[in-house]
Chains A and B, each alone.
Chain A
Amino acid sequence: EAGVAQSPRYKIIEKRQSVAFWCNPISGHATLYWYQQILGQGPKLLIQFQNNGVVDDSQLPKDRFSAERLKGVDSTLKIQPAKLEDSAVYLCASSLVLWTSGGISTDTQYFGPGTRLTVL
Chain B
Amino acid sequence: ELKVEQNPLFLSMQEGKNYTIYCNYSTTSDRLYWYRQDPGKSLESLFVLLSNGAVKQEGRLMASLDTKARLSTLHITAAVHDLSATYFCAVQFYFGTGTSLTVIP
Contacts and interface: CB of A to CB of B under 8 A. Distances in A.
Given A33-B93, A48-B93, A108-B33, A42 B45 contact: no
A42 B95 contact: yes
B88 interface: yes
A110 B1 CA distance: 23
B65 to A, nearest CB: 15
Contacts of B19: none
A41 B33 contact: no
A108 B48 contact: yes
Given A105-B30, A112-B42, A45 B98 contact: no
Interface in A70-120: 91, 93, 102, 105, 107-114
B43 interface: yes
A108 B45 CA distance: 7
A35 B31 CA distance: 20
Contacts, number: 40
Given A108-B45, A111-B43, A45 B94 contact: yes
Interface string B34-58: 0100000111110010000000000
A99 to B, nearest CB: 14
A109 B37 CA distance: 14
Contact of B98 (A41, A91, A110): A41
Interface residues of B, number: 19
A91 B48 contact: no
Contact of A91 (B4, B33, B42, B94): B42
Contacts of A114: 42
28 contacts: A33-B93, A40-B98, A41-B97, A42-B4, A42-B90, A42-B95, A42-B96, A42-B97, A42-B98, A43-B43, A43-B88, A45-B93, A48-B93, A56-B93, A91-B42, A91-B43, A93-B43, A105-B30, A105-B31, A108-B45, A108-B48, A109-B33, A109-B45, A111-B42, A111-B43, A111-B44, A112-B42, A114-B42
